[in-house]
């Protein structure tokens, strides 16, 4: 396997979400030789957010726009940003870490794992795959004037439901398995005030079946066991995320759910390997907490490299 | 990304695809998956020097969507000899896109 770039780097940041981009900014400002690897494009899950309303300094900003602004900030430091570069394996050695990608291998004295999390797919088989979606901005416009089901009553489910209504969707039914929706009250209030969004709690979507040119959705009320059939045009799924840690295998300590275990200074159990953002085992996963993680991880990486 | 491709309109679409081996990416400007696929296309372009690349903005050109039957973005259409020889909707990685391009000549 060929070595990429100019030999061993000081630091490689794996993941170009907000945690990785923040870490890269701090690493560049610390004069580290840093490269950031991103499997898709910079921005991570925030790229899909219709509107972000909890990022200090912006009352409301589209996720894609905010992430592009941060990416431009990273670029201003003339840092190497390698997009569409999927890391397949991170191998930790005694004094360096090897990062493998389909196009070659990178080596670095330190690495920050900021690989984030990915949406969980709908856990049912369906012959209606073309009508099951995971991004309202991408697929929502096709449902203008039509009726959709949204699976998941968290912040993302409600935010995307509002996005769908803004795109012209006629009605949205949110299906949430818990006894109450977990989204922030302000987002719920905004959604219900549209008059076009309703929610069914303690309910689970069991099947999506072809029904003429629409779909028949089977919804089970978990407490009573009653089954209801609803005809809709499409289904959008926002039921949480799972950590992107497959490239770590057994090299770094993970919790039972697969998240990276890191201490308050973002050190993992392996020297020279730090973690930041949604991939870290923690209670709160917000843009602001990811930025804090990225900041600390980069400063710690710089401190450790100077002390070598 | 977007600045690297020719964006087709109702006036230019037919003539562009009539005689070219080309990839047409149907996208929306605010679609994150479309940006990912644009980056993938950028990465693959040097490996396919004979392939022309263009885009269609789904919001600006609903007529093209209607005539091609595209309902989702991103969608990739590969044209050969004036007709669609391969197509796929959704995000792909580089190897999947290269396989789709290769399948268009099969």
Report whether the peptide linkage leading into residue B74 is cis, meaning its omega lies within 30 degrees of zero: yes
Show residues of chain A in contact with B95, CB under 8 Å: 102
**Predicted pLDDT at A124:** 86
Show residues of chain B in contact with A47, CB under 8 Å: 32, 35
State whether B28 and A48 contact (CB < 8 Å): no
Tell me how many residue pairs between chain A and chain B have CB atoms under 8 A apart. 52
Q: What is the ipTM of this complex?
A: 0.77
Confidence of residue A237 (pLDDT cuts 50, 70, 90): very high
Mutate to test the interface with A, among B35, B40, B89 (most CBs of A within 10 A): B35
Distance between CA atoms of residues A212 and A123, nearest Å: 23
CATH 3.50.50.60 domain span(s) along chain A: 9-118+241-306, 121-237
Residues of chain B with pLDDT > 70: what percent?
A: 96
Show residues of chain B in contact with A130, CB under 8 Å: 72, 89
Which has more confidence, A5 or A27? Answer: A27
| Multiple choice CATH, A121-237, 3.50.50.60, 3.40.190.10, 2.60.40.10, 3.30.1490.150 | 3.50.50.60
**Predicted pLDDT at B106:** 61
Which fold, A9-118+241-306? FAD/NAD(P)-binding domain (3.50.50)
**pTM exceeding 0.90:** no
Residue A306 has pLDDT above 80, yes or no: yes
Span A182-206, mean pLDDT?
96
Residue A132 has pLDDT above 70, yes or no: yes
In the block, tokens 């057994």 appear at A250
Residue B72: closest CA among chain A residues belongs to which residue? A139
Q: Is A139 on the interface with B (CB under 8 A)?
A: yes
**Predicted pLDDT at B29:** 86
Residue B28: closest CA among chain A residues belongs to which residue? A138
Query: What structural domains and CATH numbers belong to chain B?
Result: 2-103 (3.40.30.10)
State whether B36 and A41 contact (CB < 8 Å): yes
Distance between CA atoms of residues A163 and A145, nearest Å: 14
State whether A139 and B72 contact (CB < 8 Å): yes
Mutate to test the interface with A, among B1, B32, B69 (most CBs of A within 10 A): B32
State whether B93 and A43 contact (CB < 8 Å): no
Phi-psi region of B96 (alpha: psi -120 to 50; beta: other; left: phi over 0): alpha
Q: Is A119 on the interface with B (CB under 8 A)?
A: no
Query: What pLDDT digit, counting tens, does each position of A33-88 carry?
Result: 999 999 999 999 898 887 888 899 999 898 889 999 999 999 999 999 999 999 99
Confidence of residue A6 (pLDDT cuts 50, 70, 90): low
Query: What pLDDT digit, counting tens, does each position of B13-51 carry?
Result: 999 999 899 999 999 988 888 988 998 999 899 999 999
Closest in A40, A130, A137 to B31, CB measured: A137
Span A148-153, mean pLDDT?
98
Span A260-271, mean pLDDT?
97
With CA atoms as reference, report the closest residue to A11 among A278, A31, A19, A70: A31
DSSP state of B106: -
Contact A41, A142 (CB under 8 A): no
The separation between CA A235 and the C-alpha centre of its own chain, rounded to angstroms, equals: 20
Backbone angles phi, psi at B24, to 5 degrees: -115, 120
Confidence of residue A175 (pLDDT cuts 50, 70, 90): very high
Q: How do A203-211 and A214-221 pair as beta strands?
A: antiparallel
Span A293-308, mean pLDDT?
95
Confidence of residue A253 (pLDDT cuts 50, 70, 90): very high
Which has more confidence, A236 or A125? Answer: A236
Closest in A41, A130, A137 to B30, CB measured: A137
Residues of chain A with pLDDT > 90: what percent?
A: 81
Sign for the CA dihedral angle at B1, A106, A77, A51 comes to positive
């Amino acid at each position: 396997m060929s070595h990429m770039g100019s030999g061993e780097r000081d630091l490689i940041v794996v993941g170009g979400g907000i945690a990785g981009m923040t870490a890269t900014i701090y690493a560049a400002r610390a004069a580290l030789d840093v490269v950031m690897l991103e499997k898709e494009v910079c921005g991570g899950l925030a790229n899909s957010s219709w509107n972000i309303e909890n990022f200090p300094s912006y009352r409301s900003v589209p996720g894609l726009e905010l992430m592009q602004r941060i990416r431009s900030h990273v670029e201003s430091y003339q840092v190497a940003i390698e997009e569409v570069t999927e890391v397949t394996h991170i191998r930790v050695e005694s004094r360096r870490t090897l990062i493998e990608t389909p196009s070659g291998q990178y080596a670095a004295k330190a690495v920050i794992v900021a690989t984030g999390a990915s949406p969980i797919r709908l856990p049912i088989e369906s012959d209606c795959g073309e009508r099951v979606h995971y991004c309202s901005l991408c697929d929502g416009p096709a449902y203008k004037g039509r009726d959709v089901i949204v699976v998941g009553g968290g912040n993302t489910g409600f935010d995307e439901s509002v996005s769908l209504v803004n795109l012209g969707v006629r009605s949205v039914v949110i299906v949430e398995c818990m006894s109450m929706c977990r989204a922030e009250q302000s987002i719920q209030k905004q959604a219900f005030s549209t008059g076009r969004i309703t929610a069914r709690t303690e309910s689970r979507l069991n099947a999506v079946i072809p029904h003429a040119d629409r779909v028949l959705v089977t919804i089970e009320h978990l407490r009573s066991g009653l089954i209801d059939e609803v005809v809709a045009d499409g289904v959008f799924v926002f039921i949480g995320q799972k950590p992107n840690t497959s490239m770590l295998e057994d090299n770094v300590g993970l919790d039972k759910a697969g998240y990276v275990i890191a201490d308050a200074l973002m050190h993992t159990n392996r020297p020279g390997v730090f973690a930041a953002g949604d991939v870290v085992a923690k209670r709160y996963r917000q843009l602001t907490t990811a930025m804090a993680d990225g900041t600390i991880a980069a400063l710690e990486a710089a401190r450790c490299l100077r002390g070598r | 990304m977007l600045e690297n491709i020719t964006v087709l309109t109702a006036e230019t679409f037919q003539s562009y695809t009539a005689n070219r081996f080309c990839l047409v990416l149907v996208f929306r400007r605010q679609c994150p998956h479309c940006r990912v696929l644009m980056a993938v296309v950028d990465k693959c372009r040097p490996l396919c020097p004979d392939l022309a690349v263009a885009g269609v903005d789904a919001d600006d050109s609903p007529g093209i969507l209607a005539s091609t039957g595209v309902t989702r973005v991103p969608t990739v259409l590969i044209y050969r000899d004036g007709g669609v020889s391969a197509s796929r909707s959704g995000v792909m990685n580089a190897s999947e896109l290269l396989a789709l391009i290769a399948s268009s000549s099969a």
